[in-house]
């Protein structure tokens, strides 16, 4: 990760770590958690966070913010975002956010996104929500077009 990206994550961490901001995010977390409890078949539920909650404090390149609650024991499946850089943190709980390194541009990558015919080698990054943990244990930065998935351990959602 570049120094610039690390600096951006520190700014985001300070913003999201603010008690005032957290107090506005908690009701969204509870709504999303309630929806997951209601929908027994869903692996995850989500809701956008209005950017106005941050009072103009977000860096200009940040255009959306979301809460996701993932079911314990769930694996979200591989996805990538060709048009956005994802920055994620563990607000509550823990999970293994796995990324796949980008390879060349062979036809199999263009078709499936995978360079090895579907045999995926994931790199794990276990995120925790402990505010005293180092920044790199609480946040991950996923550049555009990088395959990723979340694996949630058994236990709480």
- Quote the CA–CA distance of 15 and 150 in Å, as a whole number: 24
Q: Is residue 157 part of a domain?
A: no
Q: Is residue 47 part of a domain?
A: yes
pLDDT values of the chain reduced to their tens digit, one per residue, 157 residues: 788 999 999 999 999 999 999 999 999 999 999 999 999 999 999 999 999 999 999 998 899 999 999 999 989 889 999 999 999 999 888 889 999 865 543 333 444 445 555 566 889 999 999 989 999 999 999 999 999 999 988 888 8
Q: Is residue 34 part of a domain?
A: yes
CA 17 → CA 9, 42, 130, distances in Å? 12, 29, 11
Q: Is residue 45 part of a domain?
A: yes
If one counts the domains in the chain, the total is: 1
DSSP line for 55-104: TT-S-TT----EEEEE-TT-B---B--TT--EEEE-SSSEEEEEE-----
* Cβ-based neighbours of 73, under 8 Å, separated by 6 or more: 152, 153, 154
Q: Is residue 156 part of a domain?
A: no
pLDDT on residue 1 = 78
pLDDT on residue 93 = 85
Residue 105's CATH number: 2.60.120
pLDDT on residue 106 = 36
pLDDT on residue 67 = 95
Report whether 110 contacts 89 (CB < 8 A).
no
Q: Read off the pTM.
A: 0.81
pLDDT on residue 107 = 36
DSSP line for 114-138: -TTTT----EEEEEE--TTS-HHHH
State which residues form the domain around 12.
3-151
Q: Is residue 96 part of a domain?
A: yes
């Amino acid at each position: 990760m570049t120094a610039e990206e690390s600096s951006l994550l520190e700014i985001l961490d300070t913003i999201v770590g603010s008690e005032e901001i957290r107090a506005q995010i908690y009701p969204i977390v509870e709504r999303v958690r309630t929806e997951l409890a209601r929908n027994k078949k869903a692996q995850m539920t989500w809701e956008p966070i209005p950017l106005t909650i941050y009072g103009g404090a977000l860096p200009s390149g940040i255009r959306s913010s979301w809460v996701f609650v993932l079911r314990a024991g769930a694996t979200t499946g591989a996805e990538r975002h060709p048009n956005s850089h994802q920055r994620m943190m563990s607000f509550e709980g823990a999970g293994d956010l796995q990324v796949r390194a980008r390879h060349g541009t062979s036809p199999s990558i263009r078709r499936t996104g995978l360079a090895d015919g579907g045999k995926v080698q994931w790199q794990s990054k276990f995120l925790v929500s402990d505010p005293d943990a180092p920044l790199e244990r609480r946040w991950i930065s996923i550049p555009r077009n990088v395959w990723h998935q979340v694996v949630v351990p058994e236990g709480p959602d």
